[in-house]
Chain A
C-alpha cells in the first residue's frame, strides 16, 4: 500500500490522540473516572463508525455485540477461576472468545439482514438485540436473568490488589489499545479497495452496484469488523463493571450513545469518533454534575443544536466548509 503523506499524518494524529488520553489518565488520577468514560465512548464510537460511518447503514442492535463481548470476557474469568488454569489465561481467553462469538453472530445477521435496505435493516437489528436478550433470560443460559457476577472470581485469580488493578489500569489500557486498533482498521479500510467500494455504496448504492461493487459483500465485511471491535470493548468493559445482567448489557442506550458519538463527530471520518467521544462525554458528565436530574432535558436541545449546526458532524462539516482546501479535506476524511 503506497500512501500519501497526508494519509500517514492522519493515522499518526489519531494514534497520538489515544496515547495522550491514556497518558492523561496516568498523570491526573483524580480525573480517571471521567477519562475512563471518554476512552470508553470514543472507543465505542470508533468501533461503531466502521459500520455506521463507512456504509451509512444504522444498526440499532449494535450493543448486542458489546453485550456478547461482556459475556465472553466474564465467562472466561469464571471458567479459568473454576478450573484452576493460569490466571493470565482469563485475560487472554476473554477477548478471543468474545470476538469468536461476535463474528459468528454478525455473520449470521449480516448474511440475512444486510440484504435489506436502509430502514428495514435498522428495524431488523432492533429485533436481533431484543431477541438475544430474551434468549439468554428465557433459556437461562449464562446465568439467565441473574447474570454473571465475577468480582469473587477476579479476587480469587488475582488477589485484592490485582483485582483493583485489572478493573482500572488494565481495563482502561485495553480500551485504549482496542480504540487505536479500531482507528487503524478504519484507516486501512478507507485507503483500500474495500474503502472505495464502501464509499461508493454509502453515497449511492444502486450506482455502486452498476459500477461493479458487490455491495452486500462489502457491507458484511464492515459489519463483521465493527462487531468484532464492539465485542472487544465489551470484554474489557466486563472487567470494570464485573456484573453482567441482560437488561444492562443489552441496553439500547449504548447503541444510541454510539450513534450520537459517531454522528456528532462526523460519521465515516477517522477523527469523527474522537471529537464526538470527547464532546459527548464531557457534556454528559458535567451536565450530570452541574444539573443533576435535569441533564437530559438540557442535553437534548444541545444535541439538536449541534446536529443542526453541523449536519455532517463536526469533522464532516468542517471538511465540507473548507472543501476546496485539498490538504485539510484529505486530512479530515
Chain B
C-alpha cells in the first residue's frame, strides 16, 4: 500500500505578468511533518503559500490534499478541509475580542460545522490558555501589542484544528522566550498529527527549534532539500544568501 502524502504539489507554476514567481514546484509533505521553507526575499515563498491556501490559482500544476485534487477549491473550502494559515503581518479582526477572534477559527475550521457558539468560545479559551493569551481574552484584538497579535494569529490558526498549518514568518518579531514556547506548542501538535510548514526569510538558528526538514526556495524553484542541519550547513545556502551572482542551478 502506498501512503498518501498530506499535501502534494505537482509542478506548480505561477506567473505575474512577465515575472515567473514559481517555476514548476513539486513538493510533498506528510502527516505530522515539520517543514521549513527557506529562501531570500523574492524567492516565491509567500506566493507558494498563497497557492496552497487558495488565494492564488496556479497557472499550471495541481495540488492534492489528503489525496483530493483541491487545485480549483476556493480558500474557505480548503480551510474547512484543514489547511490553516497564519499571516506574516498579523491580521486580527480588530473590533472583535481576542476570544471571538479565536472562536471564528474554531467555528469555520476543520470540524467547526457542528459547533455552537458556546462550544467555539470554550475551544477558544482552551487555545488561548495553551498559547498564554488567556488573560487577554476579553480585550479587543486591536488593543494587543505587536507580539501578542502574532501569538493571536497563531492561536486563530490552531483553533481551526488544522491538519496542515502554514506559518508565515511567525517567529519574526517574537521575543525569544515566546519562540521557545510556541516552538514547543507546534512540536506538540505535530506529535498529534498536525503537519506544519514555516516560511523563513532569514536563516535563523531559531528555525531548527521547530523544523525537521528544510526546503530551500530560490527564484521560484526548489534548489535544496534535506534535514535542517544539512541544509543550514550547506555551501549552497551560503551562496544563495551571500553570493547570489555566482550561483547557477
Contact = CB atoms under 8 A, between A and B. Distances in A.
Interface of A: 1-2, 191-193, 196-197, 199-200, 203-204, 206-215, 320, 323-324, 326
**5 closest residue pairs by CB, A with B:** A212-B108, A212-B79, A203-B93, A207-B91, A209-B75
Given A207-B87, A213-B104, A196 B79 contact: no
A214 B93 contact: no
Given A203-B94, A206-B55, A210-B55, 20 more contacts: A1-B117, A2-B117, A193-B116, A196-B100, A196-B108, A196-B117, A197-B108, A199-B95, A203-B93, A204-B91, A204-B93, A207-B91, A208-B104, A209-B76, A210-B79, A212-B79, A212-B80, A213-B76, A213-B108, A326-B138
Nearest to B53: A210
B118 interface: yes
10 contacts: A193-B107, A199-B95, A199-B96, A210-B53, A210-B79, A212-B76, A320-B140, A323-B139, A323-B143, A326-B138
B105 interface: yes
Nearest to B104: A200
A215 B91 CA distance: 16
B112 interface: yes
Nearest to A316: B95
A1 B118 CA distance: 9
B45 interface: no
A193 B117 contact: yes
Nearest to A204: B91
A206 B91 contact: yes
B14 interface: no
A253 B139 CA distance: 39
Interface residues of B, number: 35
B104 A214 contact: no
A200 B139 CA distance: 16
Contacts of B91: 204, 206-207
Contacts of A197: 104, 107-108
Nearest to B90: A207
Contacts of A196: 100, 103-104, 107-108, 117, 120
Looking at A2, A196, A207, A209, the one whose CB has the most chain B CB atoms below 10 A away is: A196
Given A196-B103, A206-B91, A211 B96 contact: no
B211 to A, nearest CB: 22
A317 to B, nearest CB: 12
A211 B156 CA distance: 8
A192 B96 CA distance: 15
B63 to A, nearest CB: 15
B213 interface: no
A196 B95 CA distance: 12
Contacts of B87: 207, 210
B109 interface: yes
B55 A2 contact: no
B74 A209 contact: yes
Nearest to B109: A212
Interface in B93-128: 93-96, 100, 103-105, 107-109, 112, 116-118, 120
B160 interface: yes
Given A191-B117, A197-B108, A214 B76 contact: yes
B149 interface: no
Nearest to A213: B108
B116 A1 contact: yes
Interface string B205-242: 00000000000000000000000000000000000000
Looking at A203, A323, A324, the one whose CB has the most chain B CB atoms below 10 A away is: A203
